[in-house]
């Protein structure tokens, strides 16, 4: 646990920073990571620093949540870190941007963006064009990116979320990608209510007769969709939709609802829901699916299950770098 020093300087976890820096910190000459001039606004949990070395800001960000006796500083500090990450995502997606552009994209106040940018710039995570006043991703991000290359496996990123979803709904949860006119399952978590444990990993299923396939079709370019649906579409059960016009109506519904549904279209007795997983640029790169028997996944339960499923898809998308607003 961190211990703080109370008084007219506020309650600050300098014992934490002191352990990291190896120096005693008092008064206005407090040291974080060996550098003086760190000013932490306790009430807002926001960090405003003017450092010159490479190791100060993240130490302060990590230990700033210790501040305060009632948890307010902790909550605000977490929000600040979340917003700082969102700023980086905006710059990665849009390229050089001004403070106003970033504030509008995230729907937060410009003063908050400016303070966070100052901190990120101090660490080299962003750089500013002095002539235009616009910010861009800094070269320190290249160093950080090099450390996560091996961890960018989609199944590894999604597995904790899929486990959480399977535990919550009790059904089987799969992660799928698409290739051509097929869906390929690349990971699976079995829920505790699953009657059978069919291994779907590596199996290929059709786009037009599965919930994941409809999610992919709903977000493909229209000319590509038209080409796929112009091919002969196999009728797997009496409920399989093979009419291109009707399928296009279903795809519009998928876009409106944010998830796809297929009930007994590929296998009798099996129903499934799927939600999109997006990459940094918003492209749908995968679908998270929950499936189970029709007596558990039906018109009476779909709404509640879909809410949890879409939330899981959003969470995986965020882990992939997709920008969250606000």
What are the pLDDT digits (tens) for 68-116? 444 444 467 788 898 999 999 899 888 899 999 999 999 999 999 999 9
pLDDT score for 299: 92
Rounded to whole angstroms, the Cα distance separating 110 from 101 reads: 9
pLDDT of residue 40: 33
In the chain, which ranges are E strands? Answer: 38-41, 46-49, 126-129, 134-137, 172-179, 182-189, 204-206, 260-263, 270-278, 284-293
Dig out the tokens for 257 from the structure: 């609802």
Give tens-digit pLDDT for 76-85: 778 889 899 9
Q: Are 225 and 217 in contact (CB under 8 A)?
A: yes
pLDDT score at 94: 87
Residue with tokens 């300087």: 9
Angle at 115 between CA 114 and CA 121, to 5 degrees: 85
Dig out the tokens for 75 from the structure: 């909550």
| DSSP string for 175-212 | EEEEETTEEEEEEEE--TT-S-----TT-EEESTTSHH
pLDDT tens string, the chain, 326 residues long: the values are: 443 433 333 333 333 333 333 333 333 333 333 333 333 333 333 333 333 333 343 334 333 333 444 444 446 778 889 899 999 989 988 889 999 999 999 999 999 999 999 999 998 899 988 767 899 988 787 667 655 544 457 888 899 999 999 999 989 999 999 988 889 898 889 888 766 566 778 788 999 999 999 999 999 999 999 999 999 999 999 999 999 999 999 999 999 999 999 999 999 999 999 999 998 888 999 999 999 999 999 999 999 999 999 999 999 998 888 876 54
Q: Is 128 exposed, middle or buried (0-12, 13-18, 19+ CB in 10 A)?
A: middle
Tens-place pLDDT, residues 242-255: 999 999 999 999 99
DSSP single-letter state for residue 281: T
Environment class of 267 (CB within 10 Å of its CB; exposed 0-12, middle 13-18, buried 19+): middle
Task: Output the pLDDT for position 281.
Answer: 84
Tokens for 312? 């899981």
Please state the pTM of the whole predicted model: 0.57
CA distance 78 to 84: 10
Can you give the pLDDT at residue 49? 37
Assess contact for 323 and 93: CB atoms under 8 A.
Answer: yes
State the pLDDT at residue 284. Answer: 94
Pairing assessment for the beta strands 126-129 and 46-49 based on DSSP bridges:
unpaired
Residue-level pLDDT at 148: 52
The SS3 assignment for 252 reads: helix
Model pLDDT, residue 53: 38
Q: What pLDDT score does 57 carry?
A: 39
Of the candidates 306, 326, 324, the residue with the CA atom closest to the CA atom of residue 315: 324
Cβ proximity of 62 and 9 under 8 Å: no
């Amino acid at each position: 646990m961190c211990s703080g020093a109370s008084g007219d300087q506020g309650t600050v976890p300098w014992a934490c920073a002191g352990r990291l820096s190896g120096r005693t910190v008092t008064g206005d000459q407090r040291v974080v990571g060996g550098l003086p001039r760190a000013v932490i606004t306790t009430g807002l949990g926001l960090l405003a620093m003017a450092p010159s070395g490479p190791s100060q800001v993240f130490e302060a960000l990590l230990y700033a949540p210790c501040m305060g006796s009632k948890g307010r500083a902790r909550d605000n500090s977490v929000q600040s870190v979340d917003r700082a990450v969102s700023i980086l995502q905006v710059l990665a997606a849009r390229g050089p941007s001004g403070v106003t552009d970033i504030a509008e994209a995230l729907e937060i106040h410009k003063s908050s963006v400016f303070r966070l940018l100052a901190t990120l710039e101090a660490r080299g995570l962003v750089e500013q064009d002095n002539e235009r006043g616009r910010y861009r991703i800094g070269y320190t991000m290249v160093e950080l990116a090099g450390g996560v290359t091996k961890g960018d496996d989609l199944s590894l990123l999604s597995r904790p979320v899929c486990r959480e979803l399977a535990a919550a709904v009790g059904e089987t949860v799969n992660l799928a990608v698409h290739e051509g006119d097929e869906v390929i399952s690349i990971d699976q978590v079995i829920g505790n209510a699953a009657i059978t444990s069919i291994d779907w990993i590596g199996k290929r299923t059709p786009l037009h007769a599965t919930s994941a396939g409809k999610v992919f079709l709903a977000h493909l370019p229209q000319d590509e969709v038209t080409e796929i649906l112009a091919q002969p579409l196999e009728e797997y059960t009496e409920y399989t939709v093979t009419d291109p016009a009707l399928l296009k109506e279903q795809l519009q519904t998928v876009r409106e609802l944010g998830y796809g549904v297929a009930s007994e279209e590929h296998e009798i007795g099996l129903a499934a829901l799927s939600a999109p997983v997006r990459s940094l640029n918003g492209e749908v790169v995968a679908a998270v699916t929950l499936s189970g028997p029709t007596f558990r996944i039906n018109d009476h339960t779909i709404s509640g299950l879909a809410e949890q499923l879409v939330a899981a898809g959003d969470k995986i998308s965020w882990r992939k770098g997709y920008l969250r607003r606000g």
